[in-house]
Amino acid sequence: MTPHEPDARPLLLGGPAMGLRLIVLAILSLGLMVADHRQNQLAVIRDWLSAVVYPAQWAVQAPIAVWNSARESLASRARIESDNVRLAADNFVLRLKQMRYESLEQENQRLRAASASSSRVVQRTLVAEIVRVDLDPFRQRVLVNKGSLNGVFRGQAALDANGIFGQVTRVGPLSAEVILISDPEHAIPVQVNRTGARTIALGTGSSGQLSLPYLPQNFDVVAGDLLVSSGLGGVYPPGYPVGRITGVGRDPSQPLLAVAAEPLAALDRDPEILLVWFDSTVVEPEPTPAAKPAATPGDAAGGD
């Protein structure tokens, strides 16, 4: 049947009724947008919608996930054996480190108790799988398969095995949206591990790059420096690796340095992430003489 079949309905569509419908629907859309933009007015509807949509989003990636797992289960014996050898070696090294770490942590606890500052270490973690759907090519956000039913909350920090990944921006009952540290609307308070100096790292929109735009010309930073989270703002636990400086552009005619860093977390390759709970009640800027407070314009809480 061609679409050109004759029918008895009027040839000219629209007329005043259609204009009216357009206006009504446009006003409805605008109303929805305003209500949604002013957070929480639509929270219930949002939660409900995400619960409805999530199975569909999950179904989109299910064939790909099945294919991957089938390929995984058919992986060659040789590869599994070599993996096993490598993991055993890794495990050995990690256990050696762990031995030292435990004694260091004990010592750290005692020292912190002595100086009456609370230790903010991660207390609980939850593994969440990333649902492979593309939400928006120009925003660095991912969907994960854990939601408020698992206790996930807005603003929760997410890590992977190598470093800080991002934070939760939206929570549905079964799923949550995580904004990556590389999203252009995200900022994370960091510390240069070598000197202890604090600043802010902004996302650039590309998953391999962060930028540190608020550093003065005389700031002590070189390529290869490790950036760790400073814990200011209370969103991220302090002391976790964020990135490594890849380039420092010193242009004497500019007031500030152009510093680029590379995130340590495998932002575009992770199959799963860790959502963490930690005690963020005490946010005290410790008076360390080495830490010269860098310019911290805007929202130091990071993100959003």
Partner 1 sequence: MAGRSSFGWPRIIALTLAALVATVLPLPDWLEILRPDFVALTVLWFCLLSPRMTGLFHAWGAGLALDAFRGVLLGQHALALIVITYVATKLRLQIRAFPPLQQTAVILALLWINEFLLFWIDGVSGHPITDWRRWLAVPAGAACWPLITSLYARVAARR
- Residues at the interface with partner 1 (CB under 8 A): 1-3, 5, 7, 9, 11-14, 18-19, 21-22, 25-26, 28-33, 35-37, 42, 45-46, 49-50, 52-53, 56-57, 60-61, 64, 132-139, 141, 143, 170, 177, 185, 205
Closest distance between partner 1 and the C-beta of residue 236, in Å?
22
Rounded Cα distance between 169 and 184, Å, is: 14
Nearer to partner 1, 2 or 76 (CB): 2
Rounded Cα distance between 187 and 156, Å, is: 14
Nearer to partner 1, 7 or 72 (CB): 7
Which two tokens mark 226?
A: 């490790």
Rounded Cα distance between 36 and 52, Å, is: 18
**To which residue do tokens 């079949």 refer?**
5
Nearer to partner 1, 31 or 151 (CB): 31
Nearer to partner 1, 35 or 99 (CB): 35
Give the side-chain half-sphere CA count within 13 A for 204: 14
Nearer to partner 1, 49 or 111 (CB): 49
Rounded Cα distance between 298 and 86, Å, is: 45
Query: Of 170, 191, 197, 132, which is closest to residue 39 (Cα–Cα)?
Result: 170
Closest distance between partner 1 and the C-beta of residue 133, in Å?
4
Closest distance between partner 1 and the C-beta of residue 22, in Å?
5
Which two tokens mark 167?
A: 């934070």
Rounded Cα distance between 227 and 188, Å, is: 11
Closest distance between partner 1 and the C-beta of residue 285, in Å?
29
Closest distance between partner 1 and the C-beta of residue 140, in Å?
12
